A and B are shown apart, each in its own frame.
Chain A
């Protein structure tokens, strides 16, 4: 994992000093609310419904056990002893004091962390695949490119006051686990027939009020040009993006308005002036960055480790279920990646206590080279676990509450903090998640339903990614009451699709029954081996709609 050099330390510490000064000036009345707003947002600080909220950056989801322990310590001393993993691989504190935020940032800097640009109209944290570097379907490890992008975008002098926020995701695998087609810019790593690295650059994707699938603006960009090309792309957006209406200010609106050809041509034209300039990546700089992401010292696999694992799984059903859902194949023979589930029934999806953060650190140290990854599904991954240690890890994870064997199933929901915390929300989302977890607590039923993404957002800003859920639930406000619109058929993968709304919204009490009805249509109609999404794509929206509203009326 990337280690800070003196320049990184210097910049992060100067950023803390800068924000300390800004906070002091704000508290002394020398900065107006309006002026302080972008400054605090670009340091991750929101003013929320009940208290400020601080969003801490976890660059492309990577965390060390040392960082986890510091985060645990911070939640204990500055907050109420818990934190929340977000859908963009970041971590949020819900109850910090505004006056204490500079101190929190200073403590984060001690462990090479910050909250720079985790909010505001600037380039946000770069996200990626939680299985980067270990996935069997990997084209190339995206992490060195993510870190190069993190550095390029951090404190970028030209792009701190964009028309709107700007999110970049990098995907280096054949499958897409980074939802790169739903980002302002999606970078897809591909190889030429000779095996050279190239980037396909997609632009104009996003969720929010106007969900759009990104379009290809540049194929097969040579790696040395990544930063200069994005400089040009952002410059076109910064100059021409809508600044009058914040709901039309994302790059997706510009790309749609111009059409992708015109947009791509404008970027290409601008790029001619920055191409081969000082932001061109030199081969030695790329190699030096790759050297930060070398393989850990894997132990050679015992030849019979897989057979032994299978034998252990056959004697214990609960273990075999966990193996099936919560572990993932690995490039290295004798290893697996393991998802620690943060979705036990009764807890808000993605929430962890200070003690749990320490337990994760402990597990990381003992089972996975001291590193973990935060996922956009709001879980935590131990990427490098020896097959012969899976059973003891499972037992410890179970005791700590991380072994709910439901990863990738209906109850492994993505869920935003919703009306319980967020001042933007129209409705609560956490109680909806809980009602679904309670309703669908039969593990055999969940397994029978198979891979199923259910995503919940408390408002149309779509932090819970409801548009790309196979089942998406959106909280809406109807005359001061909280209602829920249900949509189906979304996908965040390379077969990207936006979910379609079933019809009129439901009350909170009706949500679980409605989901049960949708699932009945699926189980009644599915062909052998067909997933919910495949069945929906074959039979369409109508049968689902019919069943759901027949019951209601």
Chain B
């Protein structure tokens, strides 16, 4: 069971990623992009849900639905595949997305601060992750360049 880092806290991950047909739980689910675009399934007013996208998926299709999405999760297929860093910057900058951004998939501790600076708010981390992972969010106390934050 993976964990979640949210608001600089390590917590239990109550979220599940559903596939194209699976019945939806009441809340805390991540929809594949195609399913979201096809049906725009939303839980009852205000309950948390989101969509999960891959680094190589076009953001243009998502553009018109951003206002309805409280959360977008970006999947990292391998930790060395850094496209997701730019995907987050594109969503925050070019597309003006203000909801929650979550990094999922193959990410590790030493990437957390850079992910955060690119606009990610929460991080899906492995079961083995301990409190010491939170230290890596504070590796650097200054920066040379502006990013999402």
Among candidates B80, B139, B145, residue contacting A156 with C-beta atoms closer than 8 Å: B145
- Docked Cα-Cα span, A152 to B144, in Å, equals 6
- Docked Cα-Cα span, A526 to B86, in Å, equals 54
Interface residues of B in 85-130 (CB under 8 A from A): 85-87, 89-90, 93-94, 108, 110-111, 113-115, 117-118
* A516-530 interface bits toward B, Cβ cutoff 8 Å, 1 = contact, 0 = none: 000000000000000
Among candidates A18, A35, A154, A158, residue contacting B79 with C-beta atoms closer than 8 Å: A35
Pair A158/B147 contact, Cβ less than 8 Å: yes
Q: Is B3 an interface residue (CB 8 A)?
A: no
Q: Is A157 an interface residue (CB 8 A)?
A: yes
What are the residues of chain B within 8 A of A235 when measuring CB–CB? 86, 89-90
Pair A159/B113 contact, Cβ less than 8 Å: no
User: How many residues on B have C-beta within 8 angstroms of the other chain's C-beta atoms?
Assistant: 30
Evaluate whether A160 and B114 lie within 8 angstroms (CB atoms) in the complex, with A239-B86, A239-B87 already known. Answer: yes
Interface residues of A in 260-282 (CB under 8 A from B): 270, 273-274, 277-279
Pair A227/B145 contact, Cβ less than 8 Å: yes
Name B147's closest neighbour in chain A (CB-CB).
A157
Which segment of A6-14, A313-321, A480-488 sits at the interface? Answer: A6-14
User: Distance (Å) between the CB of B70 and the closest chain A CB?
Assistant: 23
Q: Is B142 an interface residue (CB 8 A)?
A: yes
Query: Given A11-B143, A160-B111, A270-B94, 17 more contacts at CB 8 Å?
Result: A11-B140, A14-B139, A14-B141, A18-B110, A35-B110, A152-B144, A156-B147, A157-B147, A158-B82, A158-B86, A158-B89, A160-B114, A161-B81, A235-B89, A243-B81, A277-B146, A279-B145
Pair B144/A11 contact, Cβ less than 8 Å: yes
Name B144's closest neighbour in chain A (CB-CB).
A151
Evaluate whether A18 and B139 lie within 8 angstroms (CB atoms) in the complex, with A157-B117, A227-B145, A277-B146 already known. Answer: yes
Name B143's closest neighbour in chain A (CB-CB).
A155
6 A–B contacts from the bound complex (CB under 8 Å): A11-B142, A161-B79, A161-B82, A161-B111, A162-B82, A270-B94
- Docked Cα-Cα span, A482 to B101, in Å, equals 53
- Docked Cα-Cα span, A274 to B148, in Å, equals 11
User: Distance (Å) between the CB of A235 and the closest chain B CB?
Assistant: 5
- Docked Cα-Cα span, A10 to B147, in Å, equals 19
Q: Is B28 an interface residue (CB 8 A)?
A: no
What are the residues of chain A within 8 A of B90 when measuring CB–CB? 235, 239
Pairs of residues from A and B, 3 with the lowest C-beta to C-beta distance, nearest first: A161-B82, A278-B146, A157-B114
Among candidates B55, B79, B85, B141, residue contacting A157 with C-beta atoms closer than 8 Å: B85
Q: Is A253 an interface residue (CB 8 A)?
A: no
- Docked Cα-Cα span, A121 to B86, in Å, equals 15
Interface residues of B in 48-91 (CB under 8 A from A): 55, 79-83, 85-87, 89-90
What are the residues of chain A within 8 A of B145 when measuring CB–CB? 151-152, 156, 227, 279
What are the residues of chain A within 8 A of B114 when measuring CB–CB? 155, 157-158, 160
Pair B83/A239 contact, Cβ less than 8 Å: yes
Q: Is A39 an interface residue (CB 8 A)?
A: yes
User: Distance (Å) between the CB of A27 and the closest chain B CB?
Assistant: 15
Interface residues of A in 307-335 (CB under 8 A from B): none
What are the residues of chain A within 8 A of B146 when measuring CB–CB? 277-279
Among candidates A151, A158, A270, A278, residue contacting B118 with C-beta atoms closer than 8 Å: A158
Interface residues of A in 42-95 (CB under 8 A from B): none
Residues of B within 8 A of A (CB): 55, 79-83, 85-87, 89-90, 93-94, 108, 110-111, 113-115, 117-118, 139-147
- Docked Cα-Cα span, A157 to B89, in Å, equals 10
Q: Is A38 an interface residue (CB 8 A)?
A: yes
Among candidates B80, B85, B93, residue contacting A273 with C-beta atoms closer than 8 Å: B93
- Docked Cα-Cα span, A329 to B71, in Å, equals 62
- Docked Cα-Cα span, A15 to B141, in Å, equals 10
Give the interface SS of chain A, mostly helix, strand, loop or mixed: helix
- Docked Cα-Cα span, A7 to B118, in Å, equals 21
* A224-240 interface bits toward B, Cβ cutoff 8 Å, 1 = contact, 0 = none: 00010000000100110
Q: Is A200 an interface residue (CB 8 A)?
A: no
User: Distance (Å) between the CB of A38 and the closest chain B CB?
Assistant: 6
Q: How large is the interface on A (under 10, 10 to 19, 20 to 34, 35 or more residues)?
A: 20 to 34
What are the residues of chain B within 8 A of A160 when measuring CB–CB? 82, 85, 111, 114
Q: Is A22 an interface residue (CB 8 A)?
A: yes
Pair A35/B147 contact, Cβ less than 8 Å: no
- Docked Cα-Cα span, A154 to B114, in Å, equals 12
Pair B147/A121 contact, Cβ less than 8 Å: no
What are the residues of chain B within 8 A of A121 when measuring CB–CB? 80, 82
Among candidates A14, A15, A243, A277, residue contacting B83 with C-beta atoms closer than 8 Å: A243
Pair B80/A161 contact, Cβ less than 8 Å: yes
Name A121's closest neighbour in chain B (CB-CB).
B80
Pair A159/B82 contact, Cβ less than 8 Å: yes
What are the residues of chain B within 8 A of A11 when measuring CB–CB? 140, 142-144
User: Distance (Å) between the CB of A500 and the closest chain B CB?
Assistant: 36
What are the residues of chain B within 8 A of A17 when measuring CB–CB? 139
- Docked Cα-Cα span, A151 to B142, in Å, equals 12
User: Distance (Å) between the CB of B66 and the closest chain A CB?
Assistant: 15
What are the residues of chain B within 8 A of A279 when measuring CB–CB? 145-146
Pair A35/B85 contact, Cβ less than 8 Å: no
Evaluate whether A238 and B83 lie within 8 angstroms (CB atoms) in the complex, with A11-B144, A155-B143, A157-B118 already known. Answer: yes
Pair B144/A14 contact, Cβ less than 8 Å: no
Among candidates A154, A238, A274, residue contacting B82 with C-beta atoms closer than 8 Å: A238
What are the residues of chain A within 8 A of B147 when measuring CB–CB? 156-158
Pair A273/B94 contact, Cβ less than 8 Å: yes
- Docked Cα-Cα span, A227 to B146, in Å, equals 10
What are the residues of chain B within 8 A of A38 when measuring CB–CB? 80
User: Distance (Å) between the CB of A228 and the closest chain B CB?
Assistant: 9
Name B96's closest neighbour in chain A (CB-CB).
A273
- Docked Cα-Cα span, A157 to B86, in Å, equals 10
- Docked Cα-Cα span, A104 to B22, in Å, equals 55
What are the residues of chain A within 8 A of B80 when measuring CB–CB? 38, 121, 161
- Docked Cα-Cα span, A393 to B108, in Å, equals 54
Pair B85/A274 contact, Cβ less than 8 Å: no
Among candidates B87, B93, B143, residue contacting A274 with C-beta atoms closer than 8 Å: B93
- Docked Cα-Cα span, A344 to B60, in Å, equals 60
- Docked Cα-Cα span, A436 to B114, in Å, equals 48
- Docked Cα-Cα span, A157 to B119, in Å, equals 10
User: Distance (Å) between the CB of B116 and the closest chain A CB?
Assistant: 8
Among candidates A35, A155, A227, A273, residue contacting B140 with C-beta atoms closer than 8 Å: A155
Pair B94/A14 contact, Cβ less than 8 Å: no
